[in-house]
Structure 1
Amino acid sequence: MKKILVLITLFLVSLGSYAQEKKIWNETKEEKESRLAWWTNDRFGMFIHWGTYSLAGRHEWVKKRERIDDETYQKYFDNFNPDLYNPRE
């Protein structure tokens, strides 16, 4: 019985090797860049959430996960000014 379970497990695990993504584009680097030029020119990109926690230079759960008390976190809050944000810098 153990041999059958081991064989079935090995078979199921080996099925994953056939599930690899196949390359569907046969294009050169230049062709890809020209195809995606509109994406860059139309200013599409990543939408990034940011806030007080960004002054800490870490994740948005910095206050909770690092157990920062209110007094310490208030320093970040006092220095945070979204009007000074310049995305081109």
Structure 2
Amino acid sequence: MSHFYGNAGVGSTSATLACDCLAHRFGNARDHGARERRYPTDMSDAEWAVVRPLLPVPGWLRGRGGRPEAYCHRAMLDAIRYLVDNGTKWRAMPADFL
């Protein structure tokens, strides 16, 4: 388990998805505001707390090069869950996922 994710607390309500992913904490995703929970496929705080420690630590954070992510990990997983549940094409995704 990553020590970066392991110590992060979950601090969001059911209406607003405030994220504590590494892209928000150390990357460029903090420049984007919190996305409101809109879809039934969006992860709950409890689901995010289970998934968060399983995500790999990005190479840029380990000193392997690259640049910090600009997109929230939780929002990307929510978009994938929406895509899998609804069977839509990636281009047809709602604008708030992009």
Return the TM-score normalized by structure 2: 0.20
More helix by share: 1
Name whichever structure is richer in strand by fraction: 2
- Per the normalisation by structure 1, the TM-score is 0.21
Larger radius of gyration: 1
